[in-house]
Structure 1
Amino acid sequence: MRPATLRTSVSLLTFTTLLASAQAQQPNVEPTRAPHAMVVSIHHSASDAGVEILKQGGNAVDAAVAVHFALAVVYPFAGNLGGGGFMLIREKHGPHGFKTHFLDYREKAPAAATRDMYLDAEGNVVSGMSLVGYKASGVPGSVAGLAYAQKHFGKLTLAQDMAPAIRLATEGFVLSAAEARNLQSKNMTLFPTSAKIFQRDGDFYREGDTFKQPELAATLTRISKDPGEFYHGAMAHQIADFEKAGGGLITAEDLAAYQVKERKPIRGKYHGYDLITAPPPSSGGIILVEILNILSGYDLKKLGPGGSESTDRSAAQVHIITEAFRRAYMDRGDYLGDPDFNTLPLKQMANMKYAAAWRSSIDPTKPTPSASLVRPAGFMPPPPQATVVKESTETTHFSIVDKDGNAVSSTTTLNGGFGSGVTIEGLGFLMNNEMDDFTSKVGEPNVYGLIQSSANSIAPGKRPLSAMTPTIITTHGNWLKHGKLAYVMGTPGGSTIITTVANDIISTIDNGLNIQQAADAPRFHHQYLPDRLDLEKKFPVPPAEALAAMGYTINRLAVADEKNPGVWGDSELIAVDPKTHELLGGHDSRRSYGKAAGY
């Protein structure tokens, strides 16, 4: 995403005035309960599609395939065929055991991509070139990833799993006011095919209109019969020819060369739970583990929720968590990239002694300025040359658990909202602008000031670094006995994804919130650079004032626009009730058209 820009810092007086209306307590909302299976996503039609497949005898992976394809129809903002993503699977294996799998179907740079492709003759970044238009797209991986998941882990057929999406595209769905407004994207207006399909050539869709997509329905039908056509057949040539005509770089050979990667999940532990999460090219999992390793030495529950005005967070707790964020994000910036192109110090980053060394540098009474932060010696190799990463927040996540305890946590993206704005003529789907997640120029901070190593520079066939953090949490197990499923978690949000997932974990495990309260809890974020503590609008005033008094530079999302919701992320969460074994769904109330659904 290129979200509503995080505004410059505000004075304490202004901050207090603007946040005065945000002191409402954490909503006392109960989760959605279901005895057998649960699907939670950003769109009600996609959640219903997943439940439909589960009721037909499909497993969690079948439902995930159904949800993803449905989101490509009903949530073109981030749901996609022309993008990519990650899928974390906990698969039942034998009568008592489970196996975990991590599928990487992230987009890849085309063969013609070059390190400096977004620079002008003077070596300056060409504004917007990596964001909008044909050259902004990487080779899409979603169709390959979903077909791979269904073939290797599903129970039904691909055609069965895709039937709800095809029906939604053929018959259409009724737009809410927010959905109709989103379709007025200026980037799509620039491209005739996009403007025709999504904007009726300027006669914009309105609330209550039925949005039908016959071209997309035909494309989905072709994929359901032969997903390989997207990469090797007539469809691949349609995509390549259209890209070439627009000056894009993706060729039929790029599509034919695309491969899904199975990678080993990152694992960690936290307060009696086992974490299974995303490995590189996601930075999310290892940074999440590093954050929680640092925090494991604290009694966050004792530091505690802040009482009647803060419920979920006290200033003392936020301070300690923020300092863990700061330190882990310093390592994210220096070391992470595509593991197929780089050797990454993952074991060192997950070392508990390293976490203890970081923890000893945290002052319990005041923040450590990022400029003065020094990495503990003796643990990490020298970092590569620093460069810039751009991370978009227009992503979407869904979580699924089936009746047998199989679980899927999946995050997918076009990168920016509606991707590059380009829709493939005759096929009806939007292309990503994932090339913007690479480093465009060494040493030049992006609009968010987010810094990282040259491990993320552009190269042919390379996958850009991501923060997507699909996560599954179980009770602690051992070699004799597998732990029991406890949580399925994830969110969109670009660089805020990792901190949001961390906060969801802390909200439940440390602070005792139910899964719906955790999804709705006020959010805060720190990413090392820029050195500021970002808060949502609804973050309560008293701890915010206390944090400012401690010495933090406080920054509130969209402070200049009181009509903006001032939020980030979209946690779609599932918990298992340890007493009743019911599934508990928590859909993020920040997004009005999603839901938790089960049976």
Structure 2
Amino acid sequence: MKFPLNGRVTLLALLLSASVAYAADSRPSVSPAATPSSRVLAQRPGHAGIASANFHATEAGLEVLAKGGNAFDAAIAVASTLSVVEPESSGIGGGFMAVLHRASDGHEIFIDARETAPLAVDTKDYLNADGTPNRDNALNGPLSAGIPGEPAGLVWLAAHYGKLPLKDSLAPAIRTARDGFEPDVRLINSIAEREKDIRRWPASVSKFLPGDKPPAAGQVWRDPDQARTLELLGEHGADGFYRGETAKKIVDAVRAAGGKWTAKDLESYQVKERTPITVDYHGYRVVTAPPASSGGVAVAQILNILSGFDLTKLDEAHRTHLVIEAMRRAFRDHNDYLGDPDFVKMPLDMLLSPYYAAGLRQTILLDRATPSSMLAASQGTDPGMHTTHFSVIDADGNIASITLTVNYVLGSTFVAQGTGVLLNDEMDDFALVPNKPNVYGLLGSAANAPAPGKRMLSSMTPSIVFGADRVAVIGSPGGSTIITQVLEGILAFIDGKDAAGIVAQKRFHHQYMPDRVDVEPGAFDPATAATLTQMGHTLKERNPWGFMNVVTWDLKSNKLDAASDPRRQSGLGRVQ
């Protein structure tokens, strides 16, 4: 569909008027954690709820709670166990982002344990001779890996927020790695999918292809090297990973395989604490991730745009249309502005301003899709479906919403000899070549260009939603669709759905480019799909989708509900 020239001029004028409105009054609707979410809640659940993508991990978290740990100790147990049983999605060779709420004083904080670029990073390593992106170096092997942040993040959680010694919280993961477990179908299939790349690295073959073939259903799989690495982490804290025996093995392995890491890269890694983004939406306050996550900014921007509409009075087609159009505009800004806040000055006051959102809202036609080419011209590819998320509320009301990743399925497929550590391939999350899509189809500018020690932009969007009577802890894997899945989960919670209803609902996604709506089969009835198509939206069915894990707290009944995505058979949400 093409708009006439006068329509394009009108759209440009409306966009300019948004900027003028922002300049007139730059007070943002989004702020550091404040009322009502940062207040000390008057009650405590008296019981706990955990939802993760693997039952071993959920049980590990509950075990640590039973030992006297709090939600943050349980988070360490869940994350480290996922490193053992779900390496296709996360691990100690990767990183995480977390939104925490401490019950005793209402303190809320964002923990940034995102990976960083090595000091010797060189963009030429990610280019072919003709200047096009070298996808192999960006996705496979040691050049694709950023410096891991998860081990430092687990140490930070224990030291600053937990109650138990770190080694106690790591104990379930160490036991599982040493004694073994039966891998689930998704892990088996992931290994089979990446077998060709795994075979390029001897230590990867040793870990993932026991007996020189992928593990079979029912087979007990052990990872003694990772058990030893986790033991050293528990005994010596950050020094147990970033210095000493483990660090030397990792650096030696990386450099032997053509990577550029040095001991200084590991020694200089630091966890960052940042102020969460919060946004008010129809009486609810959403506490979410700031940059170097792009997710919280995008979710806040979308909610600010939608706040000018009463979605409850619209039919499904028109409600969906407005959500899609808000997604489109948020992802356009995502591509242009966002990066590591320690390296890039971002116009967050503008992006998060209600007046900027009001201007964008005025560019939305109520019955017609806006071609993305009218906002700007670029191109992208399919969004990916990886990473993992878990949610925890303990008996005292402490809350952890944590999203972890190694980026693409099984990360770089490169395992450092003698450590059991599978390295991430997060370097692909940088704009290695400006305005060229990464593996998830996301575009980037100089704001997300690689630099020594810089954090690559992430879509991870761990969030907590506070209402007058209900609280939700929510997040999801899913590459670039993380942002829209979390958004739709938040809207479903506000609409009154319980945890099981939130994780099971059908999903849709628009990320500006490519200019289409990715739709889970069955998301729309035929009439709704026909109406959206008539409006100018291009619908494309796709699978799979991310595995969302949600815990909700009904403050009236003081009941917790925990639900794991039914799309993942091995997931588990449990209340104890």
Give the TM-score, by structure 2 length. Answer: 0.88
Per the alignment, residue 556 of structure 2 pairs with: 579
Task: Report the CA distance between 1:548 and its aligned residue.
Answer: 1.2
Task: Report the CA distance between 1:250 and its aligned residue.
Answer: 1.4
**2:225 counterpart (215, 219, 232):** 215
Mapped to 1, the partners of 2:288 and 2:337 lie a distance apart of 18
1:461-503 CA deviation, whole Å, 9 max, x = no partner? 1110001000011126xxxxxxx76111100111111111110
Contact 2:311 2:319 in 1 (8 A): yes
CA gap 1:391/1:550 in 2 versus in 1, 3 angstroms: closer
Task: Report the CA distance between 1:246 and its aligned residue.
Answer: 0.7
Contact 2:380 2:514 in 1 (8 A): no
Q: Aligned pairs, how many?
A: 528
1:465 aligns with 2:457: yes
Task: Report the CA distance between 1:386 and its aligned residue.
Answer: 8.9
Per the alignment, residue 64 of structure 2 pairs with: 53
Contact 1:232 1:256 in 2 (8 A): yes
Per the alignment, residue 25 of structure 1 pairs with: none
Amino acid at match of 1:588: D
Gaps of 5+ in 2: 1-44
Task: Report the CA distance between 1:430 and its aligned residue.
Answer: 0.4
1:90-114 CA deviation, whole Å, 9 max, x = no partner? 0123xxx310111111110001102
SS across alignment from 2:108: strand
SS across alignment from 1:337: coil
1:378-404 CA deviation, whole Å, 9 max, x = no partner? xxxxxxx99999975421000000011
Q: Where does 1:242-281 land on structure 2 (aligned, <5 Å)?
A: 242-281=253-292
Per the alignment, residue 167 of structure 2 pairs with: 159
Mapped to 2, the partners of 1:234 and 1:567 lie a distance apart of 39
1:516-574 CA deviation, whole Å, 9 max, x = no partner? 111111100001111111101232342222211221111111xxxxxxxx221111111
Amino acid at match of 2:160: H
Per the alignment, residue 127 of structure 1 pairs with: 135
1:206 aligns with 2:216: yes
**1:486 counterpart (459, 471, 479):** 471
Mapped to 2, the partners of 1:417 and 1:181 lie a distance apart of 10
1:188 aligns with 2:198: yes
**1:369 counterpart (365, 368, 371):** 371
Contact 1:87 1:470 in 2 (8 A): yes
Per the alignment, residue 172 of structure 1 pairs with: 180
Amino acid at match of 1:504: G
1:513 aligns with 2:497: yes
1:155-184 CA deviation, whole Å, 9 max, x = no partner? 011011011001111111123333323332
SS across alignment from 1:173: coil
Per the alignment, residue 326 of structure 1 pairs with: 328
Contact 1:136 1:435 in 2 (8 A): yes
Task: Report the CA distance between 1:347 and its aligned residue.
Answer: 1.3
Mapped to 2, the partners of 1:320 and 1:501 lie a distance apart of 17
1:291-339 CA deviation, whole Å, 9 max, x = no partner? 00111111112215xxxxxxxxx11111011011011111111110111
Amino acid at match of 2:524: P
SS across alignment from 1:330: helix
CA gap 1:114/1:176 in 2 versus in 1, 3 angstroms: closer
Contact 2:378 2:513 in 1 (8 A): no
Mapped to 1, the partners of 2:436 and 2:93 lie a distance apart of 29
SS across alignment from 2:480: helix
Query: Which range moves more in the overlay, 521-530 or 195-204?
Result: 195-204
Give the TM-score, by structure 1 length. Answer: 0.85
Query: Which range moves more in the overlay, 452-461 or 185-194?
Result: 185-194
Amino acid at match of 2:329: R
1:354-390 CA deviation, whole Å, 9 max, x = no partner? 111111111111111111138xxxxxxxxxx999999
Per the alignment, residue 151 of structure 2 pairs with: 143
Mapped to 1, the partners of 2:152 and 2:295 lie a distance apart of 22
1:431-454 CA deviation, whole Å, 9 max, x = no partner? 111111111212334465432321
Contact 1:113 1:249 in 2 (8 A): yes
1:538 aligns with 2:522: yes
CA gap 1:175/1:121 in 2 versus in 1, 3 angstroms: closer
1:64-111 CA deviation, whole Å, 9 max, x = no partner? 001000001111112201001111110123xxx310111111110001
**1:103 counterpart (98, 111, 124):** 111
Contact 1:485 1:576 in 2 (8 A): yes
SS across alignment from 1:440: coil
1:397 aligns with 2:389: yes
Per the alignment, residue 287 of structure 1 pairs with: 298
Task: Report the CA distance between 1:273 and its aligned residue.
Answer: 1.0
Contact 2:428 2:439 in 1 (8 A): no
Per the alignment, residue 424 of structure 2 pairs with: 432
SS across alignment from 1:183: helix
Task: Report the CA distance between 1:234 and its aligned residue.
Answer: 2.1
Task: Report the CA distance between 1:598 and its aligned residue.
Answer: 2.1
Amino acid at match of 1:464: M
SS across alignment from 2:350: helix
1:410 aligns with 2:371: no
Mapped to 2, the partners of 1:590 and 1:189 lie a distance apart of 29
CA gap 1:390/1:62 in 2 versus in 1, 3 angstroms: farther
Mapped to 1, the partners of 2:380 and 2:508 lie a distance apart of 23
Task: Report the CA distance between 1:193 and its aligned residue.
Answer: 1.3
Per the alignment, residue 43 of structure 1 pairs with: 54
**2:246 counterpart (231, 235, 252):** 235
Mapped to 2, the partners of 1:388 and 1:540 lie a distance apart of 24
Amino acid at match of 2:575: G
